[in-house]
Amino acid sequence: MRIYNTLTRKIEKFIPLNPPKVGMYTCGQTVYDFTHIGHGRKYTNDDILRRVLANAGYDVIHVQNVTDVGHLVSDADEGEDKLEKGAKKYGKTVWEVADFYTNHFYNSLDKLNILRPTIICKATDHISEQIALIKKLIEKGFAYDTPEAIYFDISKFKGYGKLFGQNLNEKQTARIDVQKGEHKKHPLDFVLWFKRVGRFADHAMHWKSSWGDGFPGWHIECSAMSMKYLGETIDIHTGGEDHISVHHPNEIAQSEAATGKPFVRFWVHHTFLMVDGRKMSKSLNNFYRVEDVEGKGFEPLSLRYLYLTTHYRKQLNFTWESLNAAQEGLNNLRKLCCKVSDTLQGKRSVLSAEKLTKIQVYSQRFKTAIENDLQMPEALAIAWEVAKSNIPSPDKRDLIADFDQVLGFDLFNHRKGYTLKGVTFSELPNDVKKLVDARETARKDQDWKLSDQLRDKILASGYKIEDSSNGPKLQKI
């Protein structure tokens, strides 16, 4: 397996430290506002990486944090705390904001068929681990105390710029704002612990520490939690491309200063989803949510299909036309898969040598594509070739079902284009499936009376049914 490593700027062979285990850490969301489809792209690509690793036989432990404290409006510690900002905007407490948007985040990702991480860890549940790490950094001389904060001393750490490829003098930096009462020594020194003084005197989230009441800076949570769950050196760390310049160099500095060991072996960064040529983002307020996509009659999985049409290291510009094309692509691929399922005869015929070779070649080509730095557009094209090929149905089904373990379209769970909410196709009771199929037939025959009667029966079985251009939509009630 080969993956692009931001640290070396090369595609490298990936071998985990302790095979078959792979420790993978993903920077999660700052939960102060809605999850949008730009996040959707990023976390889908993490999900693809995880599935590709699993497909290659690795046992992936995927850890993802939830940032519910300490992330200021600018990644370089400027402005308000994002959670406090969200609380003011929505008239809620910071804790309510964090809970609400954490749920919104994971519900949005569920709709995109993104597997839940093995461990989800909140920054506010790991304050003591963060305090312990800061203490260690102070003891080792990498951090210093000031009236407003504990800062990491960047001048003490050699190789700060290795991720973004510049040395300290070349990097453009904001100036130290003495007016705001900053006592840091170098503009790139970053906060490990904010004291509850000055502009943060009323900060709602705060904990006791030997440096006084306060709260952790944003970066320290990822070092503390990844070390806790994955050890001092981890195989893979992922994040959005914006983290290459500040957040991840800071994570490296504080982790390596504390342990004296390499923090991460492979850094994987995802390129943004754009809209009208700009990053889709909460702060620019130019975002769409998964609900907006559903509101326009698209399935969330059409987004997943759209994301996979572009390599994760290339920009993707979102338009409704491209989503429409993705939905059609998904519908058509499903239609071919339905045909395969419908013609399954249970018994397999003996494969000719020619067909056997063809299957093996498809399978190998798919594996080569996904294991070559996640060439998903190519993998998708191979899935299409197989769906249209003349290999016998049972083998075609097996092969596409295998591919779908990685693609994650649930191709055989959406028979006849059902859209499901609150239930998966396999959980849907058989008698309800039969009622839905019978109703589809009645609708085709324009027997509206029967169609209405069947809808009432489906409702009585606990499912609301609606019709859409993509087939019936079923919601568990």
Binding site for ligand AMP (CB under 6 A): 27, 29-30, 38-39, 41-42, 239-240, 242-243, 270, 272-273, 279-282
Nearer residue to Zn ion within complex by CB, 121 or 222: 222
Cα 128 from Cα 205, distance rounded (Å): 14
Nearer residue to Zn ion within complex by CB, 252 or 301: 252
Q: Which does 273 bind (CB under 5 to 8 A by kind): ligand AMP, Zn ion, none?
A: ligand AMP
Secondary structure percentages of the chain, helix, strand, coil, to 5: 45, 20, 35
**Least distance from ligand AMP to the Cβ atom of residue 8, Å:** 21
Binding pattern to Zn ion, positions 205-224, x when CB under 5 A?
-----------------x--
Nearer residue to Zn ion within complex by CB, 29 or 209: 29
Contact between residue 97 and residue 124 where contact means Cβ atoms under 8 Å apart:
no
**Least distance from ligand AMP to the Cβ atom of residue 281, Å:** 5
Cα 199 from Cα 429, distance rounded (Å): 57
Nearer residue to ligand AMP within complex by CB, 222 or 458: 222
Q: Is 146 left (phi over 0), alpha (psi -120 to 50) or beta?
A: beta
Cα 436 from Cα 428, distance rounded (Å): 11
Nearer residue to Zn ion within complex by CB, 121 or 428: 121
Q: Which does 222 bind (CB under 5 to 8 A by kind): Zn ion, ligand AMP, none?
A: Zn ion
Cα 420 from Cα 437, distance rounded (Å): 14
For position 27 contacting Zn ion by CB under 5 A, the verdict is yes
**Least distance from Zn ion to the Cβ atom of residue 245, Å:** 13
Binding pattern to Zn ion, positions 135-154, x when CB under 5 A?
--------------------
For position 230 contacting Zn ion by CB under 5 A, the verdict is no
Report which of 437, 432, 332 is spatially closest to residue 388, judged by C-alpha positions.
332
For residue 25, give the amino acid letter.
Y
CB-hemisphere CA count at 13 Å for 450?
13
Nearer residue to ligand AMP within complex by CB, 39 or 397: 39
For position 121 contacting Zn ion by CB under 5 A, the verdict is no
**Least distance from ligand AMP to the Cβ atom of residue 184, Å:** 23
Cα 95 from Cα 80, distance rounded (Å): 16
Q: How many residues bind Zn ion (CB under 5 A)?
A: 2
**Least distance from Zn ion to the Cβ atom of residue 222, Å:** 3
Q: Which does 334 bind (CB under 5 to 8 A by kind): Zn ion, ligand AMP, none?
A: none
- For the chain, the straight-line distance linking the first and the last C-alpha, in angstroms and rounded, comes to 44
Nearer residue to ligand AMP within complex by CB, 39 or 455: 39
Q: Which does 397 bind (CB under 5 to 8 A by kind): Zn ion, ligand AMP, none?
A: none
Place of tokens 């373990």: 405
**Least distance from ligand AMP to the Cβ atom of residue 276, Å:** 12
Contact between residue 373 and residue 11 where contact means Cβ atoms under 8 Å apart:
yes
**Least distance from ligand AMP to the Cβ atom of residue 283, Å:** 8
Nearer residue to ligand AMP within complex by CB, 69 or 387: 69
Q: Which does 280 bind (CB under 5 to 8 A by kind): ligand AMP, Zn ion, none?
A: ligand AMP
**Least distance from ligand AMP to the Cβ atom of residue 175, Å:** 24
**Least distance from ligand AMP to the Cβ atom of residue 40, Å:** 8
Cα 229 from Cα 61, distance rounded (Å): 9
- 101-105 own/partner pairs: CB under 8 Å, 24+ apart: 101/29, 101/31, 101/32, 101/33, 101/34, 101/35, 102/29, 102/31, 102/66, 102/68, 104/34, 104/35, 105/28, 105/29, 105/31, 105/35, 105/39, 105/66
Q: Which does 104 bind (CB under 5 to 8 A by kind): ligand AMP, Zn ion, none?
A: none
**Least distance from ligand AMP to the Cβ atom of residue 275, Å:** 8
Cα 117 from Cα 98, distance rounded (Å): 18
How far lies 406's CA from each of 46, 148, 295, 325, in Å?
12, 48, 27, 21
Nearer residue to ligand AMP within complex by CB, 240 or 408: 240
Cα 254 from Cα 252, distance rounded (Å): 6
Contact between residue 43 and residue 270 where contact means Cβ atoms under 8 Å apart:
no
Contact between residue 137 and residue 143 where contact means Cβ atoms under 8 Å apart:
yes
Interface with Zn ion by CB under 5 A: which residues?
27, 222
